[in-house]
């Protein structure tokens, strides 16, 4: 981290991690995963009558409170209406300290965190998505050598997907949903994935649909402040401050003020299609010489296909013609690929047979160091001969003693039989 503390830290609900971050990184903004907290509601409140209404009301307060004061007020009313004042997990208790959710509201309720930039992250599910991605290649039963190979394949597929995404960003265009010139400004800079998120806000301020007519409803009002001199705009919903995207309320005001271009401060470089990833230039074992030409061929094909599709979409006749041509080309390419695959496999078998016939034992070379059969000195030979003679003499004496013992036993047995 270059000796600098993190700006934000997103974790599960854990008091130990909370205390550790407060001690080690006091300037870091700590946030709990709101998905894990909301998932605990059924287990914590299942014993209460009408727990389904409790869950629904709690979600409404957590996600739709647009100020800290309104959240505090709605939370207290929520506890009183459902009789949850004595619940240690939820209640605010002024005479006894409880490590409850309300006490830690500043690290999990969105309205308390939206003043800080989180790039749209509210939960730790991003890491879980990475686990799911790696599980496609690696299992818990994988051997170490399998892990190394599959991890390499995993990185290769990831980089290939990034190359294809880059090619689509540079050679294809997502049509604008409105005639607002600011939308075209984001279209020219942002990647396709991020532009779709921005485009949803443009659609939101220009298109409305009546879903249900009700007699009484809650009308949320958002205050948007626009400074034409400084070209600054700020909305009460804090969508740009937390996610880096201009909200529909802000876009409505800019459209009303007939603003044609937004300040560069509202176009974040981190989501620009021209940003080069640092890890793309890191060499790895799966970087083959064929990968770069393949990427270039893919870019060229995408660029040409864009022009063809644009031309064919002008009429139904041209579109149908392109579909037929596409089917014919696909059939020919599949046939050519199958034919080349059969030829390459046959040549590979022939090469293996030739290599087997030519295999011979490697030439022997003299190894360095002391040979196994070292030439012994005269003294070594004398010691060995003396030891051998001594062993032979002892063995002969043992044999004589054993023979004498057998003879004595035999004589004693004959005398005993004679006396009988």
Mean pLDDT value of segment 24-39: 86
- Confidence band of 406 (pLDDT split at 50, 70, 90): very low
pLDDT at 288 over 80: no
Give the pLDDT confidence score for residue 202 in this predicted structure.
87
Calpha distance 255→248 (Å, rounded): 10
> Are 128 and 251 contacting, i.e. CB atoms less than 8 angstroms apart?
no
User: How sure is the predictor about 186, in pLDDT bands with cuts at 50, 70 and 90?
Assistant: very high
Q: What pLDDT sits at residue 359?
A: 44
pLDDT band at 266 (very low <50, low <70, confident <90, very high): very high
**Is pLDDT at 210 greater than 80 in this prediction?**
no
Residue 175 has pLDDT above 60, yes or no: yes
First-to-last CA distance in the chain? 107
Average pLDDT over residues 318-323: 88
Higher pLDDT, 207 or 196: 196
What is the arithmetic mean of pLDDT over 49-76? 86
| More confident position, 45 or 385 | 45
SS3 content of the chain, % helix, strand, coil (to 5): 60, 5, 35
Q: Do residues 288 and 185 lie in contact, with contact meaning Cβ atoms separated by under 8 Å?
A: no
Q: What does the block give as tokens for 12?
A: 């599960």
Segments making up each domain of the chain, as ranges: 8-129, 174-208+222-287, 291-341
pLDDT at 93: 38
Q: Give me the chain's average pLDDT, please.
A: 74
CA-based nearest residue to 243, from 8, 36, 4, 61: 8
- The angle, 0 to 180 degrees and rounded to 10, between the axes of the packed helices 144-171 and 192-206 is 50
Mean pLDDT, residues 177-206 taken together:
87
52 membership: H or E segment, kind and range: helix 51-64
Q: Quick one: average pLDDT of 198-202? A: 89
Given this model, what pLDDT does residue 351 score? Answer: 46
Asked if pLDDT for residue 137 goes beyond 50, the answer is: yes
Lowest mean pLDDT among 46-55, 97-106, 208-217: 208-217
Share of the chain above pLDDT 90, in %: 3
Q: Which residue has the tokens 């990034």?
A: 162
**pLDDT of amino acid 278:** 57
372 is written with which tokens?
């196994």
Whole-angstrom Cα Rg for the chain: 41
Q: Are 118 and 8 in contact (CB under 8 A)?
A: yes
Whole-prediction pTM: 0.55
Give the H/E segment covering residue 396. Answer: helix 378-419
Of 344 and 169, the structure prediction assigns the larger pLDDT to 169
Residues in the chain: 420
Task: Among 19-23, 176-180, 402-406, name the one with the lowest average pLDDT.
Answer: 402-406
pLDDT, residue 98, reads: 36
Answer yes or no: is pLDDT of 399 > 80.
no
- The answer on pLDDT for 81 being more than 50 is yes
pLDDT digits (tens, 9 = 90+) for 99-125: 467 888 888 888 888 888 888 787 766
Q: What is the rounded average pLDDT of the residues 85-91? A: 71
């Amino acid at each position: 981290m270059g000796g600098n503390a993190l700006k934000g830290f997103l974790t599960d609900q854990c008091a130990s991690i909370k205390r550790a971050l407060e001690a080690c990184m006091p300037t870091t903004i700590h946030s709990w995963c709101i998905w894990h907290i909301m998932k605990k509601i059924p287990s914590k409140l299942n014993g209460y009558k009408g727990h389904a209404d409790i869950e629904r009301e709690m979600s409404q307060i957590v996600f739709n409170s647009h100020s800290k004061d309104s959240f505090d007020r709605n939370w207290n009313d929520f506890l009183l209406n459902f009789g949850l004042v004595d619940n240690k997990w939820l209640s605010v208790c002024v005479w006894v300290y409880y490590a409850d959710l309300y006490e830690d509201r500043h690290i999990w309720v969105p309205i308390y965190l939206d003043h800080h930039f989180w790039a749209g992250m509210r939960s730790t599910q991003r890491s879980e998505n990475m686990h799911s991605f790696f599980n496609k290649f690696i299992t818990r039963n994988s051997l170490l050598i399998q892990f190394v190979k599959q991890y390499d394949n995993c990185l290769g597929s990831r980089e290939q997907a990034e190359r294809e995404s880059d090619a689509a960003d540079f050679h294809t265009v997502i049509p604008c949903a409105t005639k607002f010139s600011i939308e075209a400004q984001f279209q020219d800079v942002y990647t396709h994935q991020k532009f779709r998120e921005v485009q949803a806000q443009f659609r939101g301020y220009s298109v409305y649909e009546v879903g249900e007519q009700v007699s009484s409803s809650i009308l949320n009002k958002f205050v948007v402040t626009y400074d034409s001199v400084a070209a600054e705009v700020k909305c009460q919903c804090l969508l740009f401050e937390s996610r880096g995207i201009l909200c529909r309320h802000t876009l409505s005001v800019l459209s009303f003020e007939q603003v044609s271009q937004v300040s560069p401060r509202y176009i974040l470089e981190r989501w620009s299609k021209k940003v080069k990833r640092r890890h793309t230039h890191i060499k790895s074992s799966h970087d083959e010489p064929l990968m770069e030409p393949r990427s270039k061929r893919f870019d060229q094909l995408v660029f040409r296909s864009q022009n063809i599709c644009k031309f064919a979409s002008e009429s139904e006749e041209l579109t149908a013609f392109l579909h037929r041509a596409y089917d014919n080309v696909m059939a020919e390419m599949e046939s050519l690929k199958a034919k080349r695959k059969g030829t390459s496999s046959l040549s590979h078998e022939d090469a293996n047979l030739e290599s087997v016939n030519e295999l011979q034992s490697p030439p022997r070379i003299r190894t360095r160091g002391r040979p196994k059969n070292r030439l012994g000195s005269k003294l070594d030979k004398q010691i060995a001969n003396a030891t051998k003679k001594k062993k032979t003499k002892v063995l002969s004496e043992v044999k004589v003693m054993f023979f004498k013992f057998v003879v004595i036993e035999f004589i004693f047995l004959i005398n005993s039989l004679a006396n009988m």
